Amino acid sequence: MGIAGDIALILVAALLGGIVARWLRLPLILGYIAAGVLVGPNTFGPTVGNVHEIELLAEIGVALLLFTIGLHFSLRELAPVRRVALLGTPLQLVLTITFGYGVGRLLLDLGWVESVWLGALFSLSSTAVVLKTLGEQGVLGTLSARVMVGMLIVQDLAIVPLLTVLPVLENIREGLPELGLAVLKAAAFIAAMLLFGSRVLPLLLARLAAWGSRELFLVSVVAIGVGVGYATYLFGLSFAFGAFVAGMVLSQSDYSHQALAEVEPLRDVFAMIFFVSVGLLIDPSFLWARFGTIVLVVALVLIVKGLIFGGLTRVFGYGNIVPFAVGLGLFQVGEFSFLLAREGISADAISQETYSLVLATAAVTMGLTPLAARLAPVLYGRYRRRFPREPLQTFNLPEGGLTDHAVVAGFGRVGSFVARLLHRLDKPFVVVEANPDRADEAKAAGFPTVYGDAVAVPVLEAAGISRARITVLTIPDAIAARLAVERVRGLAPDVDLLVRAENAGQLEDLGRLGVYEAVQPELEAGLELARQALARFGVAAEEAQNFADGVRRELYAPIFGEGTANEGGDGLYARLRQASQAIEVEWVRLPEGQALEEDESETLTGSTQLGRTIGDLGVRSETGASILAVVRGDEVIPNPGADLALQAGDAVGVLGTPEQRAAFRTIAGANADDSPEVARGTQDR
């Protein structure tokens, strides 16, 4: 059946490999690579007939993966990591090539040209594996992930000069004009995409979306991603790099989220083909024959390349867990090394044995990446226990110290906003920041500041964590935030913790740690936009607010749900959560109608109650509920007294249990349909 039969075989093998990996609680990537080994040409049983064609399909998978990551990350998000990406990555490439040269000369007894090639092959990391691993761990939005993505982008760009210079290494002068031309091409392409593509492509998507054809929209999105990638290939640049730039450009479009949702399933299928293709290249007999050498090379690559990445990240000012995450995330040999190795074989610059060694090293290190990435928080925690002290400096702290204050960990966009708001309201607080530039900003603003890592005990003690009323963790890295929560809980078990969460997965993790309150910025922004949209559609304001509060409670269930309550200690957090769930605020719109005088009926119910005061109705005594506020036209009446008369059309904020609120609706003449039960908001939100 040709390639159709090969694809069918790959899909079945990948399914089985994925099931086994999930059953063993291993990353899916490992299952896909193992499936590739089993159906590869170097093992018995069913075999893929044309490996080269599968490799070509795998390139589409890498391109789609980079395209969707481009849709995830905007240029504004990557701007903070531009220094380490633009300066640190070239240093990493030079240092890793030097390391590979030493391995080739001293360990493998290769010539100097082949040793340089070996170093270049070792220097490139796997964009596909890293992004897939970050996605599975749910940490794509963290600072560590942004640093890794920024460095991977520059590495992908570096493939152009490497392909130009390495083949003419013995006579480098001949390659310099070609290198200069390649740099000019890359600059021209990026400029054209930013100026032309950012205007034309979003307009094209808007026009296609207006036609209402989901199928055509999907085809257009894939065509843009793959088409731009192919254009860059014809232009002499990387196919995958072009797809990434296309995604970055489209991320500014109003249709970027829809484009991402449409293309993700297709991306996953093609990315799976890529990982299977990695397994196809592994020869078990070669692994067995050179087992000792391969193990040694893999160990050296993991340790030395990981130290290079982690060390450079630290040199460029990133602290906390970031160096550990970057070092253990980018140590592997990447897929572009396959492209570079094939060029080396064609140019007779490397031998077949070196080629096989690089493929084996790449495949093994790719397979180890998901496991190594999980070690980052473990190693970071041990490092903190072994070296608990950070460079500690304090600024603007009062001589008598702080008491009953807020500790704001992180002075980025979110943390600085919180600090300025507390300052404006004249509330005591202290900023904890490990980035020297941001610490200087807080110092210049006159804020009490502790320069250091929020995970370090001396830093938290300097911030007066044991005397604080609340700790606000705005750390963007999910792993570092988790460690900070654990350390704060150990030092100050009773302090209130308010944590910024990056995604739903982190909410579940924080819930298990006993965090009582968490905020997910994108979720809150989406809820507010949805509430405003409902209002524009004519939905009553109180109904829209009730709906938004109900959705918020559902989405924050990992924090407030019973299953995530902290069962340790005296169970205080569990009881607080149960109280929050039992006592809620509901907005009830009183029905329109004419109020009757008191002497028209001895027993007044329903709409006839309108016009009577809260005290006359006996809201508290008859229903057990409390009225928190009344909205009447443009007027807001907070905490109304017993003498306030309720009027038709009032929006009443009622606090109580579901039974108490139902009793109030009965005496007020508001049916359940007027205030849907599907949307209830908790008191503390």
**Nearest CA among 677, 628, 616 for reference residue 652:** 628
Q: Which conformational region is residue 394 in: left (phi greater than 0), alpha (psi within -120 to 50 degrees), or beta?
A: beta
pLDDT of residue 359: 81
Q: If pLDDT is split at 50, 70 and 90, which confidence band does 558 have?
A: low
Q: For 380-384, 577-581, 588-592, 631-635, which range has the lowest pLDDT when averaged over its residues?
A: 577-581
Q: For residues 411 and 395, which has the higher predicted lDDT (pLDDT)?
A: 411
pLDDT of residue 538: 67
Q: Which conformational region is residue 27 in: left (phi greater than 0), alpha (psi within -120 to 50 degrees), or beta?
A: beta
pLDDT of residue 501: 75
Quick: pLDDT tens for 253-276. Answer: 777 777 777 787 888 888 888 888
pLDDT of residue 388: 56
pLDDT of residue 643: 86
Residues comprising the chain, all counted: 685
Mean pLDDT value across the chain: 78
564 phi and psi, to 5 degrees?
-105, 5
pLDDT for residue 36 is more than 80: yes
Mean pLDDT of 470-474: 89
Neighbours of 152 (CB within 10 A): 25
Give, in degrees to the nearest 5, the angle at Cα 77 between 75 and 82: 75
Mean pLDDT of 66-92: 78
Q: Which conformational region is residue 491 in: left (phi greater than 0), alpha (psi within -120 to 50 degrees), or beta?
A: alpha
Q: For residues 10 and 397, which has the higher predicted lDDT (pLDDT)?
A: 10
Mean pLDDT of 56-80: 72
Mean pLDDT of 538-566: 63
Q: Mapping DSSP to helix (H, G, I), strand (E, B) and coil, where does residue 154 land?
A: helix
pLDDT of residue 569: 40
Mean pLDDT of 495-522: 71
Distance CA 206, CA 185 (A): 29
Of all residues in the chain, the percent with pLDDT exceeding 90 is 12
Q: If pLDDT is split at 50, 70 and 90, which confidence band does 141 have?
A: low
Q: If pLDDT is split at 50, 70 and 90, which confidence band does 567 have?
A: very low
pLDDT of residue 389: 54
Distance CA 142, CA 154 (A): 19
pLDDT of residue 570: 44
Q: For residues 519 and 127, which has the higher predicted lDDT (pLDDT)?
A: 127
Alpha helices in 167-320 (DSSP H): 172-192, 198-210, 214-234, 239-250, 256-280, 284-289, 291-300, 306-315
Distance of CA 476 to the CA centre of its chain: 9
Please state, in angstroms and as integers, the Cα–Cα distance from residue 210 to each residue in 131, 205, 340, 602, following that order: 32, 8, 43, 61
Q: Indicate the helix (H) or strand (E) that contains 632.
A: strand 626-632
Q: Indicate the helix (H) or strand (E) that contains 144.
A: helix 143-165
pLDDT of residue 425: 86
Q: For residues 403 and 172, which has the higher predicted lDDT (pLDDT)?
A: 403
Q: For residues 211 and 293, which has the higher predicted lDDT (pLDDT)?
A: 293
Q: Whole-model pTM?
A: 0.57
Distance CA 358, CA 368 (A): 15
Q: For residues 114 and 254, which has the higher predicted lDDT (pLDDT)?
A: 114
Of all residues in the chain, the percent with pLDDT exceeding 70 is 80
pLDDT of residue 231: 82
pLDDT for residue 296 is more than 90: yes
pLDDT of residue 673: 39
pLDDT for residue 674 is more than 50: no
pLDDT of residue 672: 40
HEC string of 415-449 equals: HHHHHHHHHHCCCCEEEEECCHHHHHHHHHCCCCE
Strand partners, 566: none
Q: Mapping DSSP to helix (H, G, I), strand (E, B) and coil, where does residue 587 land?
A: strand
pLDDT for residue 613 is more than 90: no
Q: For 415-419, 470-474, 603-607, which range has the lowest pLDDT when averaged over its residues?
A: 603-607
HEC string of 499-559 equals: EECCCHHHHHHHHHCCCCEEECHHHHHHHHHHHHHHHHCCCCHHHHHHHHHHHHHHHCHHH
Residue type, 139: V
**Most confident region among 83-87, 448-452, 644-648, 655-659 by mean pLDDT:** 83-87
Token pair 């490092």 in the structure block, residue: 383
Distance CA 403, CA 366 (A): 50
pLDDT of residue 378: 80
Mean pLDDT of 28-39: 84
Q: For residues 565 and 262, which has the higher predicted lDDT (pLDDT)?
A: 262
Residue 273 near residue 298 (C-beta atoms within 8 A): no
Mean pLDDT of 184-208: 76
Distance CA 633, CA 544 (A): 17
Mean pLDDT of 34-51: 83
To the nearest 10°, report the CA torsion of 410, 412, 413, 418: 30
pLDDT of residue 557: 64
pLDDT for residue 678 is more than 50: no
Q: For 358-372, 407-421, 513-527, which range has the lowest pLDDT when averaged over its residues?
A: 513-527
Q: If pLDDT is split at 50, 70 and 90, which confidence band does 134 have?
A: confident
Residue 361 near residue 282 (C-beta atoms within 8 A): no
Q: For residues 626 and 93, which has the higher predicted lDDT (pLDDT)?
A: 93
Mean pLDDT of 201-221: 80
Mean pLDDT of 318-322: 80
pLDDT of residue 510: 72
